[in-house]
Amino acid sequence: MKIENIDVSSYPNSEKIYVQGNHPGVRVAMRKIHQYPTVKIEDGKRVEYPNEDITVYDTSGPYTDPAIEIDINKGLPRMRESWVEERDDTEVLPDITSMYGRERRDNPALDEIRFPVSHRPRKAKEGHRVTQMHYARKGIVTPEMEYVAIRENLDNKARGIETYITPEFVRDEIAAGRAIIAANINHPEAEPMIIGSKFSCKLNTNIGNSALSSGIEEEVAKAVWSCYWGGDTLMDLSTGDNIHETREWIIRNCPVPMGTVPIYQALEKVNGDVRKLTWEIYRDTLIEQCEQGVDYFTIHAGVLREHAQLVQERLTGCVSRGGSIMTQWCVLHNEESFLYTHFDEICEILNKYDVAVSLGDGMRPGSIHDANDRAQFLELEVLGELTEKAWAHDVQVLIEGPGHVPMQKIPANMEKQKVACHEAPFYTLGPLTTDIAPAYDHITSAIGAAIISSLGTAMICYVTPKEHLSLPDLNDVRDGVIAYKIAAHAADLCKGFPGAQVRDDALSKARYEFRWKDQFNLSLDPERAKKYYLDSRRNAPDADDRFCTMCGPNFCAMRISQNIAEECKD
């Protein structure tokens, strides 16, 4: 299989820049948006006042760097490979460890869909832990930490904006478990990013096929597309055929950390028969994925046998796929969940590759009715206990959260999580603030996401308009990402995150001065903003652009406002 390059055109009038760190390999990618000058007529003469470039956070990776030749069939440059090598605490394995992984590799029927380039996996040397938390606790500032410190600050320094974010601050937050850098040593293509409440709010996108739809090419396109529009991390939730091969294609072409829910693949391996799931199959799956380069695993280890009964009291039962699978397993076997009983062993696998654990909320509410109930809060206590366990193994931790929560119950949710889980970063799915708007759940949930992230949630998982109804397509991914970029940015403004308001101010100034192109280029979706404007102007004279069709020239407040300014001057 050869995949054609995914077409993501560059953002207009902007350029990829790299900020050099102290570590020679640290070249932090950002996007610089150029602006047109402000034009004034003074004493009858046209005078131009330049407007400064605006630097924005850039998740699109090499795809928007014209200097890098992209070939989806080769994968992205492996930037972090040398950083990992330098630490000299890992080794390249002679072969992949997973039995299943070897089978897939050796199956000639899969040649057609296999990613064309193979890399041997890397693992910690015997007796070593290679997680960012491990280094942080030792007082080491890694290149990854320096990278994210620079990345979070954009051009704050040049603007004289005070910032608390230094490489040492990053290290301390990671050491304390309040932030994570998900960076598997086998995913050197990813650009480091940080998730923690004191950093800019991040957003995750979900892609992945299901038994009924979409193939590898489509999923890779979605991955690239999601990064292009602003997804900070990416979860491949594939549950259909060829999960192993699909994932390889995605990871090798993914400039952001990638997560999975390994139980999905484990279940596929037993043809969807929950009864046949075993710890051994799951363990092999973890190792398979660690060696492919997955950066974080959602593990529903907080779902216990005793929770099964609690769910029966609910309106919508258990709506977490992983949670429902594990609950069913516990009921069928009348045993405690193997994810819970083998959790230490899991952590000892993860710290060999630096895979973070995202503790799944199997008991998250699936409706307004079930929000903040006993099942949900009891599980949160268990997640707190598991957090401490993971930290004892130097494994970085995220805590997953709901779901469906009415606005008045969001603060209690956040508070409960902070206390029960010792300030480990919270990563929520929305939450949706009402159940009554299927086809618009990117909006019902953007409201909840903005509120909960303003209260300290570190990463929000996007919801697309297709939630509850079907698998999202490219357009849904774009709608979902932008809705969540909005929620995340609104939260950053609310938190007073250093530099957050620079882009708002620049765009508003451009708007006020009728610099239409700058208004578009500074926006989250330049293409769509421009289209809406131009479509309506098609029948309008273009000699004067100091208005839009919304109000027309005589009723444009900004136009009048500027006339007043002129009149006040006289």
At its nearest, how many Å lie between a copy of itself and the CB of residue 214? 9
Question: What are the CA-CA distances from residue 377 to residues 121, 413, 483 (Å)?
Answer: 39, 9, 28
The partner residues of 169 in beta bridges, in order of sequence, read none
At its nearest, how many Å lie between a copy of itself and the CB of residue 392? 31
CA pair distance 514, 548, nearest whole angstrom: 9
The SS3 assignment for 156 reads helix
Nearer to a copy of itself, 74 or 374 (CB): 374
CA pair distance 200, 481, nearest whole angstrom: 16
At its nearest, how many Å lie between a copy of itself and the CB of residue 142? 32
Long-range CB contacts (< 8 A, 24+ apart) of 332-337?
332/274, 332/275, 333/275, 334/305, 335/305, 336/304, 336/305, 337/300, 337/301, 337/303, 337/304, 337/305
At its nearest, how many Å lie between a copy of itself and the CB of residue 37? 17
At its nearest, how many Å lie between a copy of itself and the CB of residue 71? 31
The partner residues of 38 in beta bridges, in order of sequence, read 49
Amino acid letter at 323? G
At its nearest, how many Å lie between a copy of itself and the CB of residue 332? 7
The SS3 assignment for 556 reads coil
At its nearest, how many Å lie between a copy of itself and the CB of residue 13? 16
The number of CA neighbours under 13 Å toward the Cβ of 454 is 17
Nearer to a copy of itself, 17 or 486 (CB): 486
At its nearest, how many Å lie between a copy of itself and the CB of residue 503? 5
Nearer to a copy of itself, 155 or 291 (CB): 155
Nearer to a copy of itself, 145 or 263 (CB): 263
Q: Tokens 């799915």 correspond to what residue? A: 429
At its nearest, how many Å lie between a copy of itself and the CB of residue 289? 17
Which residues, at least 6 apart from 413, have a Cβ–Cβ distance to it below 8 Å? 371, 372, 401, 402, 405, 431, 452
Nearer to a copy of itself, 18 or 532 (CB): 532
How many residues comprise the chain? 570
Single out the residue of 411, 412, 318, 416 nearest to residue 361, CA to CA.
Answer: 318
DSSP summary character for residue 427: E
Nearer to a copy of itself, 129 or 503 (CB): 503
CA pair distance 483, 448, nearest whole angstrom: 12
At its nearest, how many Å lie between a copy of itself and the CB of residue 202? 16
Nearer to a copy of itself, 543 or 565 (CB): 565
Are 337 and 330 spatial neighbours (Cβ–Cβ below 8 Å)? yes
Are 369 and 319 spatial neighbours (Cβ–Cβ below 8 Å)? no
At its nearest, how many Å lie between a copy of itself and the CB of residue 309? 7
Nearer to a copy of itself, 121 or 230 (CB): 230
Q: Tokens 């594990």 correspond to what residue? A: 326
Nearer to a copy of itself, 131 or 327 (CB): 327
Nearer to a copy of itself, 73 or 501 (CB): 501
DSSP summary character for residue 404: B
Beta strands in 266-314 (DSSP E): 296-299
Amino acid letter at 419? V
At its nearest, how many Å lie between a copy of itself and the CB of residue 99? 23
CA pair distance 398, 360, nearest whole angstrom: 9
Nearer to a copy of itself, 1 or 529 (CB): 529
CA pair distance 137, 391, nearest whole angstrom: 11
Please tell me the chain's helix, strand, coil percentages from 3-state DSSP, rounded to the nearest 5: 45, 15, 45
The partner residues of 204 in beta bridges, in order of sequence, read 233, 461
Nearer to a copy of itself, 183 or 461 (CB): 461
**Tokens representing residue 169 in the block:** 């601050």
